[in-house]
Structure formats: structure tokens, C-alpha cells
Structure 1
Amino acid sequence: MKAFTITKYSKKEKLQLTQVAEPIAKANEVLVQIHAAGVNLLDSMIKRGEFKLFLPYKIPLINGHDMAGTVVKVGSNIKKFKVGDEVYSRVGDYRIGTFAEYIAVNEADLALKPKNITMDEAASIPLVGLTTWQALVETANLKKGQKVFIQAGSGGVGTFAIQLAKHLGAFVATTTSTANINLVKSLGADLVIDYKNEDFETRLKDYDLVIHSNRDPKILEKSLRILKSGGQLISLVGPPTPEFAAEIGLPWYLKLVTKLLSSSAKKKAKELNTTFKFLFMRAEGSQLQQITQLIESGVIKPIIDKVFPFEQTNDAMAYVETGRVKGKVVIKIK
């Protein structure tokens, strides 16, 4: 089968289109023919080697975390899925490889594709959907009437998070550029701040929750200051914390590294009587199935900026790296 592989960690090196053996589904896996793959900034970060300390992959490696496709074979222990099922997934860490024609996926990481959307749309959902679910529902336990500030509202996570937060009954503030104000308003944002012309700290106060996705340390400090006493900031970009290290089973010396990296953010949060948490989402088919129900009921709609043909996977990655994507970018494989 054809696949786009990482042959060495590099900022400049492109993914290589190669011919590799079709994967074999183990007892707890299904083999999926991939129709479409979502492209995420995480894919670029993996390619550049930014996670090699925490996720030590063996090179060469097929890149890609998100996919939608059709089940073509099932392992001997599979109970939930059958050949012909249309499915989607953010595949598990150490099992990535969606920039390919086929992939073997653990049953626990898989969900049935929403019936009312296309394969391209379904492929855009898993990583951003699970990130948002694990931030708003699982970690923050966001309640009706609470106030949440979602940074970068027109991005992949932002477009999904605004819709889910509104469904949960929250008041939603977000930042975006002038060109995308109407988009985020159409998704349900109550207060929109044009980050090029306004400082969000002057507009926001006493928020219950911040979904933080900006790597600038100054933005992190400002975000902590807009929280009310007892509020929490959930960061999707770091710094990683010892809690995260323990969660994914890192050795003691890496727990120490995360303690050093996150000490400043945690200290500032404590001074303000707020909480700083780092979220690195995990694959979770059962949560994705709940997201399927929200999509099928019309609560959440996928937002796609651009679909690239499989051969242009490197162009799709470069486009995502510009940081100007509205919603998601998808690669059409079948």
C-alpha cells in the first residue's frame, strides 16, 4: 500500500511517499481502508521530533492521527464492528499512521462514523472532538451558565469547542481575526474579540475556564488573570506537567523535567488561586461515539477549510503550519 512516512525527524524534510506492507489486524484490531485523513498540527510536531522525549517512536514511521474509512477485516476478538462498517478514529499513540491506504486500529479507539456527514467531514473530527470533550466535559465538568474563554475560535479545536460549550449551556468568549468574526458568531460565540485590534484581558473578567492554545508565555499569564478565584486554565500546548507525565507512565527523570517546565505556570496559577492543567488528549472510542450522537442530532457541524488529494499530503501539512486554517484540513485518500 502507499503511505507517507517520516524517514528522519526534521523541520525541513518532507514526508516520503513510499510503498509499504499492508498492516495485519491483530485479535483486538480491525483493518480499515482509509477514505480520508484529518491533518493536525500534532502531525507536524511529530515530524519535527518535538515529542520524541515523551513519545519515542521508531523511524521510519507512517504519520497521521485522524481517519475515516471502511472496515475490511476484523480480528478474532472483535465484538463491536463488522466488515463494511463505516468508522472513524483518532488512533492511539504508538499506533499512528493514517496517511496511508490502510490501518489496523484497536477496537477501543474506534467509533461508527456519523451517518449524516461525509468521510471527509468525519476525518476532520476525532482529534479536535476528543480534545474538546476531554477538556470541557471530562476535565472541567463545564456547567450551564459558566463562562469559558476559548482561544483561536476559528481553528480546528476552536470551531468544535465553541459548539460543544454552547451545547453545555456556557457563555463563550473567543478570539479570532477580523475575517473570521462571522464564522465564530455563527457557531455560537457570545463575545468575539478581534485579537489584532483588541487585548482580551481588557474585555474579559471572572471566567470559570480558559481553553488555552497559544504558546506565547505572556498570553498564558494574561489568561490566568482573567479567571475568577477557583477558575481553571486547561492548556493544549503546554508546558507539560508531572500529572501528565504520571498519566502516560513516563520515568522519574522525565517527571522531573515536566516539573521544571511547568513550575512557573503552576506558581502563577497558585498565586491567583486558580488551577493550571495540561491536556494531551488520548484516543477513546466510547467518547467518540458520544460525539457521533451530537453530530447526528445536528448539535455540532464539522468545519472544513480545504481538502487535498492524497498525493499533496505535504502541501496539506504546510498549509496547516501557516496557522491560518479555518476549521480543519483533510486529505482524500480513497
Structure 2
Amino acid sequence: MKAIRYSQYGGPEVLDYLDLPDPIPAPNEALIAVRCASVIPGDWKVRSGKLHEMFPIDLPTIPGRDGAGVVVATGESCDWANIGDELCFVSEHVEPGSYAELIARPREMTIPKPQNINFAEAAAMMHAGVCAWIGLIENAGISFGQNVLIHAGAGAIGGMAIQIASSLGCNVTTTCSAANSDYVRELGARHVVPYDREEFRDQVKKQDIVFDLIGGIVHQNSCRVLRAGGTLVWLIAEPFDDVSSEYDIHCKQAIIHDRRDTMERLSQQVTAGILKPQVSRLLPLTLAAEAHKIVEDGSNTRGRIILEIGDGA
């Protein structure tokens, strides 16, 4: 099979496009011909070695956290999948990932692909949607009528978070560049603070929930815009000083997991047309290094970059 692999930590140039042996599914696994894989910030951070203590990987390795494809073979005792099934899947950073023509996955790491979206959108749904769901539903427990501030609303996770909060009747405010203001409004944001023109801490007050995808000074300023007793939920981002106690608020880290029931709930919302995964651009697998460069330098500001593999989207 064709795949992307790296044998040492470093810049995008360490990513090699090469032929590797086809994986053999374990007895309870399905072998999936990958059609699309998403490129997430964690991919380049792991590749660079920035997260080596958190994700101790064995080199060489194939990157890629999620994807979507078609079952082409099954293990001898695999009774949950059939050849031709269209599946979405996840993989851990510490195991061979989705930047490959083939991947073997157990049932608990897959869900059926929603039929109303294509393979690119299905790949974009997985990690981004799960992060947003865990942050807002499982950690913040958002509910109708709450004031919710979502940082980086034009990004893949932020965009899904806006849609989730909006669908539940929350009053959604988001930060993004001025160029993306109309885009995030289309996703469901009622109020937009363009960070390149205004300081959100001067424009936003008395929020019930803040979902912080940035960290650093943004995290600290977010504490100031919450009401007393409000909740700040954050994902791994830039380091920050926890000042939550000074403002009488709750501060929670969203620990990302791959539980199948969460993936299924997310998929149900997509199938119902409530949520729409956002794809920024499509690139062939051969340009994985270029995709990493784009994500690493911050120039991809809307949705997910998707690698097309095999027959693509």
C-alpha cells in the first residue's frame, strides 16, 4: 500500500511517501480502504516531537488521527462489518494512523458513515466533532438559552462547536478574523468579535460558558468575561496561568476520548442534518507535507484540510 511515514521527529520534510506492506486485520478487525483522512494540528505537533512525552510513539510511524473509507476485508471472527460497508474511524497518535491506503480497525474505533455526507466530510466530522461534543456536551453541559463564547469559531473544532451550541438554542458568540465573520454567522453564531479588530474582553460580558481552543492570554481573559459560577472548558493549547479562583468560575479540561457512544451521537446529529462538517480544501496523499505546512503556519483558518486517498471523496 501507499502511505505517509516518518522515521524521526522534525519538520514536514520528514514525511515520506512510500510503499509499505498491507496491514493484516486481527480476527475481530475490518480492513478499510481509506478514502479520506483529515489533517489535524495534533498531527504536526506529534511529528515535530512537541508532544513526545504525552504521546510516546515508536518510530517509524504513519500519522493520522481519523478518516473514512470502505471495508475491503475482515478478520476471521469479525461479525460486525461486511465488505463494502462505508465506515468512519479513529486511530490513536501512538499507533499507525490514517495517512495510508489501508488501515485495520476494531469495531469500537469505527462507526457507520452517515449517508448524507461524502468521505471528505465524514473524515472532517470525526476528531473535530468529537472534540466539540466532549467540550460542550459532556464537560460544559450546555443548555437552551445559555450565553456561550466559542474561541476560534472558524476552525474545524470551533465550527462544529458553534453548530452544536446553536442547535441547542444557546446564544453563541465567537471570535475569529474579520475575514471569517460571515462564515461563522452562517454556522450559527449570533455575535462575532473579530480578534484582529477588537479585544473580546471589551465586547463580551456575563457568559455562562467559554470554550477555549487557544490558551495563553486568551484563556486568562476568558475568565474575566464569565459570570460568577460560569464554566471555562479548554483543550490542550498554549500554556496559561489558572486564575479561575480569582473570578469564582469553574475551569475544566476537556479530555478527548474515542468512546463509540460519543461518536454515534455526533453521527446522529450529522445524519439528521443538524451538523455539517466543514472541509477547507482537498489535497492528495502525496502532498501530506504541504498540508502539514499549511496547518502548522496557521494559514488554514476554516474547517479541516482533507487528504484524498484511493478514490478520494
Shorter-chain TM range is: over 0.9
Q: Matched residues in 1 for 2:25 and 2:289: separation?
A: 28
Q: Is the 8 A contact 1:205 1:226 kept in 2?
A: yes
- Flag structure 2 segments of 5+ consecutive residues without an equivalent: none
d(CA) in 2 for partners of 1:109, 1:115: 19
Give the alignment's Cα RMSD to 1 decimal: 1.6
In structure 1, the residue matched to 2:199 is 199
- Counterparts in 2 of 1:1-334, with a 5 A limit? 1-11=1-11, 13-215=13-215, 217-238=216-237, 264-265=241-242, 268-325=243-300, 326-334=302-310
Q: Is the 8 A contact 2:13 2:289 kept in 1?
A: no
- Quote the sequence identity (%): 31
Name the CA distance, whole Å, in 1 between partners of 2:90 and 2:116.
19
Q: Which moved more, 1:183-192 or 1:298-307?
A: 298-307
Distance 1:22 1:198, change over 3 A: same
Aligned residue pairs: how many? 309
Structure 1 spans left out of the alignment, 5+ residues: 240-260
TM-score of the superposed pair, with normalisation by structure 1: 0.88
Distance in 2, matches of 1:99 and 1:12, equals 14
Shift, 1:228, TM fit = 1.3
Paired residue type of 2:37: A
TM-score, normalising length: structure 2: 0.94
What is the CA-CA distance between 1:93 and the residue it aligns to? 4.3
Quick one: which amino acid aligns to residue 102 of structure 1? L
Residue 264 of structure 2 aligns to a residue in which SS? helix
* Cα 1:76/1:167, change in 2 over 3 Å: farther
User: CA shift at 1:28, angstroms?
Assistant: 3.1
C-alpha contact (below 8 Å) 1:238/1:278 kept by paired residues: no
In terms of mean alpha carbon deviation, does 314-323 or 39-48 score higher? 314-323
Cα drift, residue 96 of structure 1: 4.1
In 2: Cα distance, 1:17 partner to 1:274 partner: 48
Alignment partners' CA distance in 1, 2:206 and 2:76: 53
Residues of 1 paired with 2:144 and 2:127: CA distance? 25
Following superposition, the deviation at residue 171 of structure 1 comes to: 1.0
**Per the alignment, in what secondary structure is the counterpart of residue 252 of structure 2?**
strand
State the AA in 1 paired with 2:190: D
